[in-house]
A = this chain, B = another copy of it.
Amino acid sequence: MRERPKIKDIAVKAGVSVATVSRALADSSLVTAETRQRIRELARELNYRPNVSARNLRTRKSMAVLLVVRDVGNPFYLDVLKGVEATAREAGYSVLMGNTENEPARETEYFHMLRDGHADGMILMTGKLPPDGGTRAGGWSRLPVVVALEMIKGSRLPHVQIDNVGAARTAVEHLISLGHRRIAHISGPIPEQMSLDRREGYRLAMRAADLDIPAGYEVCGNFLLESGQEACRRLIALPEPPTALFVANDEMAYGAVHELRRSGCDVPRDVSIVGFDDLYLSKAFYPPLTTVSQPRAEIGRTAMELLLKILSGGRTDADDAIVLPTALNIRSSTAPPR
């Protein structure tokens, strides 16, 4: 086998011009079925594959999308990534991983990568836009970007999201309906929109039921296991500790349960716990965790589909704000108070 054959090699062998080969390979109707056939066979024979850099340069496309998350190490993104990857693949796109670690500079860097032609579009799951979003001509919002998972308020970008406020509210109402009155909340980092929303849902449910939120009942975590543990420790130490916890994500909920157990409390006998996310593990956890499940894979899929639509020239109106349904998954970490 030769070195990588180029289009010209095929052209020579087939006795046609490079243009014809290019057309034949692109399935253009401007080419006789016969020549097309011949060229395709020749291409296969030579094991020809087009050089993507050349094609990208010429077509000004990269057939890649950039998926930017806060932390690639977070298990939450797994299914989302899976959804994105599958959909992208089917459409002939590849997926570039972006990881910001919450650093604004990186956030900006990925937008640059998009402009530079590394990718044709981007799915942004970090909940924020680069700092200088407004100063550039047209801002970043002109770029083919879909915001998913975490919404960015006031950004005219198309969104794929869930109703965090409503879902959180439903979760807390479940606790209330069980008879709990002393319900605390472990939130994500404030002032991230997602944390704010879930806390808002908690507050709404409490207010609607005429329940008090005593001082110290709202503890702020960072979505990581240890912070759930730490937050729980503080809650237990309160003069009047809660009988139920609404935790802003499963990972922190795991930490909270762990801490409760360490201090001799039983879940749900002494304290009920509701999480958020329904990680793949939550059903095998002990006790099986009551939690809000969100359609992660579908979020990924939908976001990618929306991006594809935009890339193929579809409108990018803000009415493209898609809200996917959540569900409260009631398992064994919640029970009536003693």
Contact = CB atoms under 8 A, between A and B. Distances in A.
Interface of A: 1, 4, 47, 49-54, 56-57, 60, 62, 64, 67, 71-75, 78-79, 81-82, 85-86, 89, 94-97, 99, 112-113, 115-118, 136-137, 225, 229, 254-255, 257-258, 261, 280-281, 284-286
B81 A74 contact: no
A97 B50 CA distance: 21
B94 A52 contact: no
Nearest to A296: B73
A288 B285 CA distance: 11
A75 B72 contact: no
A144 to B, nearest CB: 15
A78 B74 contact: yes
B64 A60 contact: no
5 contacts: A4-B115, A56-B57, A85-B97, A254-B284, A258-B286
Contacts of A47: 136
B78 A78 contact: yes
A81 B53 CA distance: 25
A284 to B, nearest CB: 4
